[in-house]
Structure 1
Amino acid sequence: MPRRKTLKLATYNVNGIGNRLPQLLAWLDREAPDVVALQELKAVDSAFPAAELEAAGYGAIWQGESRWNGVALLGRGVTPVESRRRLPGEPADTQSRYIEAAVHGIVVAGIYLPNGNPQPGPKFDYKLRWMERLIKHASTLAALPHPVAILGDFNVIPTDDDVYDPKSWRKDALIQPESRAAFERLLAQGWTDALRHCHPDTRIYTFWDYFRQHAERDRGLRIDHLLLNDTLAAHLQDAGVDRWVRLQDKASDHAPTWVVVKAP
């Protein structure tokens, strides 16, 4: 296989890989991303469609869960070399929300950050603890001399410009001051928010709920993020959202979100 001049990295919350495998395969065939972080597999390990993805040209590693959560990393033409699964810092936490590997010369962390609703309450407390664990571990990744990306569904709306109607979301865990402050502390380690960097003045969304034709009316949220460390951000070329996937029949409520970088 010839060496790629650029790499396309993407994150996609599939909201059930069993039900939405046809949409996933159609997107992979059309857009041909080189690295993909998947979230909300909602499938046990044995139900992960490794054979179908291999037939589509993708190697995979994954960590499933029976009803909720579940994360995976895909590599076009390669199988990611796993370096970690599960975020350190809370041994009793068995939720499948983190996976990390080397893919095409890049250290990639795929995350599915807790939603945190309803708040206040134990689910929001867990969200904030998880974010603290992520911040601590991400500091070690940011310090690496290698290109590093953190891709996933962060379940954080960073600013009011990242939601179609901030007032209607004021009580949601995704927009709380504590959630936003933790996300800002993460970025302050030196991470570049690739989508916002490439579209600084544009209302651009990655999630649209299923109510009142919000997807068709583009009434969405930006909660799927691609963070690049300084080494990789120096090679950033473009970023965007494949909204067409969200507009398909029986689609996930998220759209694939991607970044193009010069190959390391």
Structure 2
Amino acid sequence: MPIVRGTRSGLEFDLFASPLVELLPQVRSKLDASPEFYRGAAGALSFGDAAPDESAFDELVAALAEHGIAVAGVRGGAAVAEFAERRGLAYLGALAPAAPKARRLSAAARSTQADFAGARADLARRRLRAVHEPESPQPAGAIGEGTELHRGTLRGGQALRRHGSIVVLGDVNPGAELIATGDIVVIGALRGIAHAGAQGDVGACVFALDLSPTQLRIGPHIAVAPEGERRRSPVPELARIEDGRIVIVPYAPPR
């Protein structure tokens, strides 16, 4: 099965498990499942030691283009390097970068993780009971399976895309972008673009200590900050959908 991973620099396609011609239907299926999720991204293609079949590669490039994905370059062995030179593509190295190893969380980070896990569980219970509690909204951003934890500042031009939720321990500067099919949690200032529920989930939410995005989307709904105006709140805030529109409310931690 081909692996598609979102990184700060774009997308990584790991395509060396089987011949490319066999992987094409699976790649198309992944892209078709989220037609807008990947649009506008650049993709690095990893092929291992063997160069891809020319015809299959052309089909892959066409499929990516249909979904608004540009080919940033290819990775692989010597045969892939020759293929890249012949096709006028950027050669990005012999191996795709390894996934970062899990790092031990500090006591403060573990405390944050526990808080978010409790909030996530509480929100799930409330949704099942169909109970509406506007005075105490809970951010759903547990750090666990399907959630990407990013440490540090995201600068303008950087983007994180995730099937699942995103937690950022740091600021998201103007020009940076967060796209998640689940929730978005920023332990810092959110001043860039955030799109939660990117596959249409109107139950998703966006939380930040300083919620000042230039553009905010939840599912199909969108809100844009007024030109030249930057909102500030003395308390953390949560954005969610109410009555078919995005609302921002103060965050009250679970008791």
- The TM-score, its normalising length taken from structure 1, stands at 0.26
Structure with higher Rg: it is 2
Structure with greater helix percent: 1
Q: Which has the higher contact order (CA 8 A, sep 6+)?
A: 1
Structure with greater strand percent: 2
